[in-house]
Amino acid sequence: MRKLLLLTTAALVASPICAFSGGLAGLSAKPSLVGTPITVKVTPVATPERVGSHPPGFAALAARCAPSIHIRTLSSLVRWESRANPYAININGGYKLTRQPNNATEAAATAQNLLDQGYNIDVGLGQINSNNFRALGVGVDALFAPCANLRVAAQVLGDCYARAVAVDGEGQAALRGALSCYNTGSLRRGIQNGYVRNVVAQANLPVPELIPLGGEDSAREPVLLHGNRVAAASTSQDAAPEPPAKPKPSSGEADAFTVSADADAFSADPENENGRK
pLDDT of residue 136: 94
Is a pLDDT exceeding 80 seen at residue 153? Answer: yes
What's the average model confidence in pLDDT over 78-85? 94
Indicate the helix (H) or strand (E) that contains 72: helix 71-82
Taking the CB of residue 239, how many other CB atoms lie within 10 A of it?
14
Closest by CA to 250, choosing from 85, 39, 8, 12, is 12
Residue 273 confidence (pLDDT) above 80:
no
Segment holding 201, helix H or strand E: helix 195-202
pLDDT of residue 205: 64
Q: Letter for the amino acid at 55?
A: P
Identify the residue with better confidence: 103 or 263.
103
Pairing of strands 95-97, 42-44: antiparallel
Q: 42-209+219-230 in CATH: which number?
A: 1.10.530
